[in-house]
Amino acid sequence: MIRPFRNELKFVIRFDERVALLERWRRNLSRDPHTNDDAVTAILSQYYDTPSLRFYREKLDGIGFRNKVRLRTYGYRFQPGQATFIEIKQRLGERVRKVRQRVAEFDSRQLSPANWLFDDPRDESAFGVLLERHQLRPSAQTWYLREAYEALVEPDVRVTFDSQLTGLYPGERLELGRMADPSSRIMSDTLVVLEVKATGGIPAWVAEGARCVELVQRPVPKYVLAVEKLGLDRAPSSWD
């Protein structure tokens, strides 16, 4: 499935700023139905890149149109019976879109791009070009907790808060000790990533809340931070 391009705004905020924003926005939001009673779900992504980490370097170089390829599940590990998706995330300036294919019968073989199958010829074509051209292989994993909401009036608007961002090596299992260890984080536990996504314009109530909390838009490349935290490239991370 190819989704339309949408606007995606990202901010790094403190927990007290998250509380203030939710107080302001609560009347405009409802819990994402795919989350638990606290509006939270776990997200694990296995990213794929070239042997020279081309996608990672394109982000650092500020290439205007770029791709990220990943396998995503909503939980703590990839396992049979759990909803799993193959995704390309394409960015063009401030706008992004996804090409997304659900893995009907996931097993460990689908961790290799050589075993990916597609129902829609358009999806197969989009992924096939990247796989054929770039020799993609597993590069890094990210895991975090996402608190997710949908706008009550504007059906295309989503607001999410990501915390406990953790980097993992390709194929590494997320053990309990790893989840509890702040030193494994790719961002401080005192910070939260706020994302506002909309296929149309950003609503006035979002802008009003951002002004009141004095938010400053800032890119938050989770994959890039994981690569650097794990030492998969020599570029140092400036996040603390």
For 5-36, write each residue's pLDDT tens digit: 788 999 999 999 999 999 999 999 999 999 99
239 φ/ψ sector (left φ>0, alpha ψ -120 to 50, else beta): beta
Q: Are 178 and 76 in contact (CB under 8 A)?
A: no
Cα separation, 139 vs 223, whole angstroms: 9
pLDDT at 237 over 50: no
Average pLDDT over all residues of the chain: 89
Q: What is the DSSP letter of 76?
A: S
Q: Note the pLDDT of residue 226.
A: 94
Predicted TM-score (pTM) of this structure:
0.90
111 burial via Cβ count (<10 Å: 0-12, 13-18, 19+): middle
| CA–CA gap between residue 88 and residue 1 (Å, rounded) | 10
Query: For the residues of 92-141, what is the DSSP string, one character each?
Result: ETTEEEEEEEE-TT--GGGGSGGG---SSHHHHHHHHHHHHHH--EEEEE
pLDDT given for residue 235 in this prediction: 46
Domains observed in the chain: 6-229 (3.20.100.30)
Separation CA 98–CA 77 (nearest Å): 22
Distances from the Cα of 211 to the Cα of 21, 23, 132, 216, angstroms: 10, 14, 45, 9
Q: What is the pLDDT of residues 46-105, one digit of tens each?
A: 999 999 999 999 998 988 888 899 999 999 999 998 999 999 998 887 788 888 889 888
Q: What is the mean pLDDT of residues 213-239?
A: 81
> Looking at the chain, how many residues does it have?
240
50-80 burial, b at 16+ Cβ within 10 Å, e below that, comes to beebbbbbbbeeeeeebbbbbbbbeebebee
Q: What is the pLDDT of residue 157?
A: 96
Confidence at residue 234, expressed as pLDDT on a 0 to 100 scale: 66
Q: Find out whether 40 and 163 touch, Cβ atoms under 8 Å.
A: no
Residue 238 predicted with pLDDT over 70: no
Q: Which amino acid is at 53?
A: L
Distance CA 62, CA 5 (A): 19
